[in-house]
A and B are shown apart, each in its own frame.
Chain A
Amino acid sequence: QKEVEQDPGPLSVPEGAIVSLNCTYSNSAFQYFMWYRQYSRKGPELLMYTYSSGNKEDGRFTAQVDKSSKYISLFIRDSQPSDSATYLCAMAETSGSRLTFGEGTQLTVNP
């Protein structure tokens, strides 16, 4: 069983839709949860960073962490064509430890 599971998609939505991306994990020691966006042939860029359980909102993006269910989500409101990318979840046990990545979900937002 992989430590982090993420549906690779692809996911295709119309412009303006609400997008829900999810990851599950098995390592209960994970405390730091991140979402990265990766455009084609580019390196990942950090979107959201959350410690422990709860919600975090930044503009059109909301990250949720449910440690009891070992489940994290990223919601994108009013999705735009420029949001088309691969979204990777990542987790770590401590703030300085290695990241474990999900496989990434490929998202296409159609105008």
Chain B
Amino acid sequence: GAVVSQHPSRVICKSGTSVKIECRSLDFQATTMFWYRQFPKKSLMLMATSNEGSKATYEQGVEKDKFLINHASLTLSTLTVTSAHPEDSSFYICSARQGIGGELFFGEGSRLTVL
């Protein structure tokens, strides 16, 4: 089946640094990718929708300049957390859709800890 890979799975960084998380669709082309944030024992909160070759659409309350999303190719989207702070510590999950209306596949998630 289709696989979505996230890297890194776990990252620890100092406050003030920037962190990049990659999301790749390994055996299909993903026209749309989604980025979620999940706090412990909480649901997935959609942060932004990313379409290949265009700017991401951010959900209300999500800072565009803080969470930079790039979807440069049909198999890769990146999330960069800029000037990270401890409150940005969370589990970030991407998902990718195979074609319009296709099944949504999730990555394994990336746990970010900001010290």
Contact = CB atoms under 8 A, between A and B. Distances in A.
Is A bound to B?
yes
Interface of A: 6, 8, 36, 41-46, 49, 88, 94-96, 98-99, 101-104, 106
A46 B103 contact: yes
Contact of B46 (A44, A98, A104): A98
B104 A43 contact: no
A88 B104 CA distance: 14
Interface size class of B (residues with CB under 8 A): 20 to 34
B88 interface: no
A45 B46 CA distance: 16
A87 to B, nearest CB: 11
Interface of B is mostly: strand
B44 A44 contact: yes
Main secondary structure of the interface of A (DSSP, over half): loop
Nearest to B91: A41
B12 to A, nearest CB: 15
Nearest to B100: A96
Contact of A102 (B34, B43, B95): B43
B104 A99 contact: yes
B109 A42 contact: yes
Contacts of A94: 101
Contacts of A101: 43-44
B5 to A, nearest CB: 10
A46 B4 CA distance: 13
A98 B56 CA distance: 13
Interface in B49-104: 49, 91, 93, 95, 97, 100-101, 103-104
Contact of A103 (B42, B91, B107): B42
A71 B96 CA distance: 27
